[in-house]
Amino acid sequence: MSPRAHGLGVASAACGLLLCILPVLAWYSADLPTGSDSLTGYGASAATWVLPVAGVILIAVGVLCVWWRPATGTRVARILGALVVVAAVVGVVWATRAALAPGIEVVAERAGKPSARLDGDWSVTVLPAAWIAIAAAAMAGMVGILLLTARPEDMIGLDELP
């Protein structure tokens, strides 16, 4: 039973919870000729549905680490760490893709006429929720790496090190 795994499990679950919550918040803001508007992660990028899936995996692994407390570097911890690393890589890639290349198009809708793309001088600002999602996924990756690696004091038979 490793107290290190307990802390890493809590960190994994916290990062997973952030990945589940953040796509619901505003990720983008646009200053338009008609005023300003904001979009959630789901509203502007269909790719953000992947983040809660990765978050659920991180939460599940975190709960398992808190419950089992496997010594880091053991077979169970390596399997759990590998799951965390894979979920974290997916989270970083998709959150970065959504933050750096938002699929936002401003469309003018007029009654009785077809919708037309609105060109002009407007800009899209990426809000902090997108950057926090990338950071949470990256931090989860670090948690997974720490679960994969063994410390000498966590090894079986080495309880009393100087």
pLDDT digits (tens, 9 = 90+) for 116-143: 776 666 778 899 999 999 999 999 999 9
Nearest Cα neighbor of 143 from 154, 132, 135, 131 is 135
pLDDT digits (tens, 9 = 90+) for 47-89: 788 999 999 999 999 999 999 888 888 899 999 999 999 999 9
Q: Provide the CATH topology of domain 3-154.
A: Butyryl-CoA Dehydrogenase, subunit A; domain 3 (1.20.140)
Spatial distance between the Cα atoms of 102 and 41, rounded to a whole number of angstroms = 9
Query: Could you tell me if 74 and 36 are in contact, meaning their C-beta atoms sit under 8 angstroms apart?
Result: no
Prediction pTM value: 0.83
